[in-house]
Amino acid sequence: YTLSWTYGGINPNKNRGHAIYVDKLCQDFSRILTASIDASLAQHGTREDEKTALFEAIAQHVSFCQDRAATFFGRKTTLGQIKSYLRSGSRHPLIVHGASGTGKTSLLAKAAMQTTGWVSCDDSAVIVRLIGLTSQSRNIRSLLRSLCLQLTYIYGGDMTLIPQDYMSLVNFFVVQLESANADKPLVVFLDALDQLTDDYNARQLFWLPKELPPYVHIVVSTVPQRKYDCFPALKVGMVMDETIPDDQQYVEVPDLPGADAAAIVDHWLKADKRRLTSEQLAILIDSFRQCPNPLFLKMAYNESTLWNSYTLKSDLRLATCVEKLANQIFVRHERGHGEAVVRRTLGYITAAKHGVTFNELEDILSLDEDVMNSV
C-alpha cells in the first residue's frame, strides 16, 4: 500500500487518501481471512466426509460378517487351519481357495468374528474387506486407500499424508503394515480377490505383499480358475517358506459334508418355524448330495419353502446343480410374472454397474414398452 504520511499519522477523517487506504486494507484483510477460513473448512470437511465414508464402509463389511457368522455351521477342520495360521509365526499371507459357492465368504466371516478369541493379544486389530460387497471395494485404488485410512486411524498418523494415486498407495500400504506391533498385532481378511476389476491389473496382485512384517497376518480368498488370474498369481508370486506346513499357506475349502448340511437345514427350518415331510427332506438332501455346495443348498432350501405337506411327489422337483436350479427358479418366475418382466428385470440389475434401488427399477421397467405390454 502506498499513501502520503501527514503530521499526526493516519487520519481518515481529514485525509481522503487515508480513508481509501483504511477501507481497502479492511476489505483485503476480510477477503484473505475469509478465503483462509473457507479453505480450512473445506479441507476439514473433506477429511470428515472421508472419515464418515470409511466408518460407513467398515460398518457394512462388519455387519455382513456378523450376519454370515451367525448362520455358520461346521467347517471345524478348515476353521482350525485358519486358527493355526493366525497363531503361527508365518510371514506370508494365507490363501483360502475353493470353487464359487463353497462358502469361502462365510468361512472368512466366521474366522474374522473369532479372531480376537484365537490370538494371544486381547488388543489385536482386525480389518475385514469383502470385495464386491460395495462397488468401491472392487476398485483396487479405492480398496487400498480405504485400508490405509483404517490403518492410519488404528495406529495413529496423519490422514492427509495418505496419497491418492495407485502406485503411491501400494507403497504406503506396505509401510502402514509395519505399524503393527506386539501390543497391537494386525489381522487382515480380504475375501474374493477374483471380484477385483481389471483396473491397474489388480488381479495380478502386484499390490499384495509377498512377505509380511512381524505381527501381521493376512488371509485372502479366491476361486482357483486361471481365468481370474488371482490363484495362479498367488502360486507364482508367493515365496513359500519350507519350514511352514502347506496347510498354513494354502487352505482348500472342500465340499460341504452331509452332516453339516443336515444341521444347516434343521436350523433354517427352526428359524422359519417350518417342517418338511420325511419324503420332502429326503428329496432336498438327495439333491444336495449331487451338488454338495452351500450355495446350492441355500437355493434348494428356498425352493422347498414353496412346498406344502400335500404337494404331490411329482411336483417336488429340484435340479442337480446351481446353474440348472437357477434356470428352474427363473422359469418359475416367468410363469408367474411373465417372461418380459423377469428377463428385463434381471437384465437391468445386471447392467447396473453400481446397483439399482427398487424405486429406480420400477421407474425403468415402467418406461419399457415390452414390459408394459405384457402386464
**152 and 222 part of one domain:** yes
**88 and 230 part of one domain:** yes
Q: What is the rounded average pLDDT of the residues 340-355? A: 85
Q: How far apart are CA 147 and CA 208, in angstroms?
A: 12
**236 and 325 part of one domain:** no
Query: Residue 240's pLDDT band (boundaries 50, 70, 90)?
Result: low
Mean pLDDT score across all residues of the chain:
86
**12 and 126 part of one domain:** no
The pLDDT assigned to 176 comes to: 93
Query: Residue 243's pLDDT band (boundaries 50, 70, 90)?
Result: low
Q: Identify the three-state secondary structure at position 190.
A: strand
The pLDDT assigned to 10 comes to: 81
Q: Quick check: 293 pLDDT over 60? A: yes
**288 and 345 part of one domain:** yes
Among residues 252, 277, 294, which one ends one of the domains?
252
The pLDDT assigned to 238 comes to: 60
Among residues 222, 252, 282, which one ends one of the domains?
252
The three cell numbers locating residue 56: 460407513
pLDDT tens string 221-231? 998 887 777 88
Q: Quick check: 157 pLDDT over 70? A: yes
Q: Quick check: 75 pLDDT over 60? A: yes
Q: Quick check: 323 pLDDT over 80? A: yes
Higher pLDDT: 40 or 43? It is 40
**232 and 178 part of one domain:** yes
> Going by C-beta distance under 8 Å and a sequence separation of 6 or more, which residues neighbour residue 229?
194, 203, 204, 205
In the chain, pLDDT over 70 holds for what percent of residues?
95
In the chain, pLDDT over 90 holds for what percent of residues?
31
The pLDDT assigned to 158 comes to: 82
**Residue of 122, 125, 192, 131 whose CA lies nearest to 156:** 125
Query: Residue 234's pLDDT band (boundaries 50, 70, 90)?
Result: confident
Q: How far apart are CA 295 and CA 272, in angstroms?
A: 18
Q: What is the rounded average pLDDT of the residues 78-103? A: 89
**228 and 315 part of one domain:** no
Q: What is the rounded average pLDDT of the residues 242-257? A: 73
As for how many domains the chain has, the answer is: 3
Among residues 234, 252, 270, which one ends one of the domains?
252
CB neighbours of residue 343 within 10 Å: 15
Q: What is the rounded average pLDDT of the residues 69-88? A: 87
The pLDDT assigned to 218 comes to: 94
**314 and 201 part of one domain:** no
Query: Residue 239's pLDDT band (boundaries 50, 70, 90)?
Result: low
**109 and 245 part of one domain:** yes
The pLDDT assigned to 216 comes to: 93
Least confident of 188-192, 319-323, 370-374: 370-374
The pLDDT assigned to 39 comes to: 77
Q: What is the rounded average pLDDT of the residues 7-31? A: 83
Q: Quick check: 13 pLDDT over 90? A: no
Q: What is the rounded average pLDDT of the residues 231-236? A: 78
Alpha helix ranges (H) inside 71-221: 76-87, 104-118, 135-138, 140-155, 166-177
**114 and 231 part of one domain:** yes
Distances 251 to 96, 145, 241, 290, 366 between C-alpha atoms, Å: 5, 28, 15, 23, 48
The pLDDT assigned to 352 comes to: 82
Query: Residue 48's pLDDT band (boundaries 50, 70, 90)?
Result: low
CATH number for the domain spanning 67: value is 3.40.50.300
**143 and 244 part of one domain:** yes
The three cell numbers locating residue 282: 429326503
**219 and 310 part of one domain:** no
The pLDDT assigned to 207 comes to: 92
The three cell numbers locating residue 288: 444336495
Q: Edge-to-edge strands of the sheet including 250-252?
A: 125-130, 186-191, 216-222, 94-97, 250-252
Q: The domain containing residue 327 runs over which residues? A: 258-373
